Structure 1
Amino acid sequence: MSVIVVTGTGVRVGKTVVCAALAALARARGASVAVVKPAQTGVAADGRGDLDEVIRLSGVSTTFELTRFEPPLSPAAAARATGVPPVSLPQVARRIRELAESTRLVIVEGTGGLLVRFDEDGATIADLARLLGAQVLVVTGAGRGTLNHTALTLEAIAHRGLDLAGVVIGAWPPEPGVIERSNVADLEMLAARPLAGALPQDAGVLDVEPFAAAARRGLAVTLGGAFDPAAFRDSYRV
């Protein structure tokens, strides 16, 4: 049994694509895998959510969206705006534990960043990771601003005594500039370990088979892939 919580340093950094990559690699090695989204926000009831993208990219269909809010707000603010009860992370944790009893890998995708509020008491995806005793995988951007956002996220993880699974660049550009190339070494310095992966910027438009290949190239051995952080670092050394 294994549970991994995937969070981002912000929005649009590639969390969903990384979740799909983890799921694709588990599927390729024949492991049972499920993906859970405790709260989907900013999507209408009949709209396509993040888990629809996970299914499309990875071919993994065992997914669970536990709550959906149409307003594009934090889960706490969306619940308040729509007049419904907020997400209960203890209940979410119980559901995930039950699922993990019969599933080799459960991937939990957060909403926004690590400290986005799920209820009026300030519960966050970090609290869910603590309840589950799960490792936290941080997905970050490649360009300007990523170092500060990543440093703050890693500091919050360390302050809460959570176990860091690694840092993955969620969308690596095909022609990285000096900022992106310089950030590679700095991100590793912040994490105090090699990068856990870097997925190509266009990975989210691939079909299932090429996406699985991109996932293998883009995620580290610790996550089931073949990404070589030393070779990647050397390729983009400033």
Structure 2
Amino acid sequence: MPKRYFITGTDTEIGKTTIAAALLYAARQRGLSTAAVKPVAAGCEHTPDGLRNEDALALQAQCSSPLDYEAINPVALALPIAPHIAAREAGVALTAARLADPCFRMFERGADLTVVEGVGGWRVPLNDRETLADLAQELGEPVILVVGLRLGCINHALLTAEAIARDGLRLAGWVANQIDPQMERQQHNLETLRVMLRAPCLGVVPRVEGGSAAAVAAHLQLDALLGPTAGLSS
């Protein structure tokens, strides 16, 4: 049965794309088909083919079948600012329903694993009424939380996990991503997170030179998500 997950984080710039791409890579190594959606991306470059986002391109590279860029990143915004502000300045109306439609279309492709990567954290606004959490609720899929290891991460992780549960979604697992190698008492923080987050830890990822999907995937333990190495459809 196809598996689908919504990827969120404790904040922006804490490695959601790095982990999402590594998850897709790990699935492909098991012989599984993969697909991805980054419904909205702010901070896109102008190219001859149109606006392109580095994170969405990284996800596209880990999809097992060729997918049009627009199918992966249907709403591309140039300014690297909060998406609801970037969208308003670009004259684009962001709603959870609008962003959910391309996700459902991607789900219909039936890939063994499909990931939907959010932007920023759980409560990033889409408009004056809705946040990314409303999109996750529309989709109804389990959530993977990327925890950026730095001072304050315990509070951010617990608050995000509480919000996910309050919004009626299941936290399928979490990944600790080392974004501050100088963090004091990192191991103690990890021990606290393991005790207090009521979901499996899927891996502790150190700073990896180049951050390639293959190198990051080596630090993930994904049997809880992907099942045994024989593959999901066997």
TM range (shorter): 0.7 to 0.9
Is residue 32–residue 105 contact of structure 1 (8 Å, CA) maintained in 2?
yes
The total of aligned residue pairs comes to 218
Offset, 1:178: 4.5
In the alignment, what sits opposite 1:232?
A: none
1:196 aligned onto 2:202: yes
In the alignment, what sits opposite 1:219?
A: 221
Within-5 A mapping of 1:40-55: 40-46=41-47, 48-55=53-60
Within-5 A mapping of 1:1-238: 1-46=2-47, 48-55=53-60, 58=62, 60=64, 62=67, 64-82=72-90, 84-102=91-109, 103-121=111-129, 123-171=130-178, 178-202=184-208, 204-206=210-212, 211-212=213-214, 214-224=216-226
2 CA distance for matches of 1:198 and 1:172?
Answer: 11
1 CA distance for matches of 2:152 and 2:171?
Answer: 21
Cα distance change, pair 223–200 in 1 and its aligned pair in 2 (3 A): farther
Cα distance change, pair 31–163 in 1 and its aligned pair in 2 (3 A): same
SS at match of 1:218: coil
TM-score by length of 1: 0.81
Unaligned runs of at least 5 residues, structure 2: 229-234
SS at match of 1:196: strand
2 CA distance for matches of 1:172 and 1:69?
Answer: 25
> Which residue identity is paired with 1:119?
N
- Superposition RMSD on alpha carbons, in Å? 2.4
CA deviation vs aligned residue, 1:71-95 (integer Å, no higher than 9, x gap): 222221111222x122232132232
TM-score by length of 2: 0.82
Cα distance change, pair 193–100 in 1 and its aligned pair in 2 (3 A): closer
Greater helix fraction, Structure 1 or Structure 2: 1
Unaligned runs of at least 5 residues, structure 1: 227-238
Offset, 1:176: 6.8
CA deviation vs aligned residue, 1:55-105 (integer Å, no higher than 9, x gap): 45x4755461111112222221111222x1222321322322222122222
Offset, 1:54: 3.1
Is residue 25–residue 225 contact of structure 1 (8 Å, CA) maintained in 2?
no
Of structures 1 and 2, the one scoring higher in RCO (CA 8 A, sep 6+) is: 2
CA deviation vs aligned residue, 1:184-237 (integer Å, no higher than 9, x gap): 11111221244121223116433xxxx4354143233213499xxxxxxxxxxx
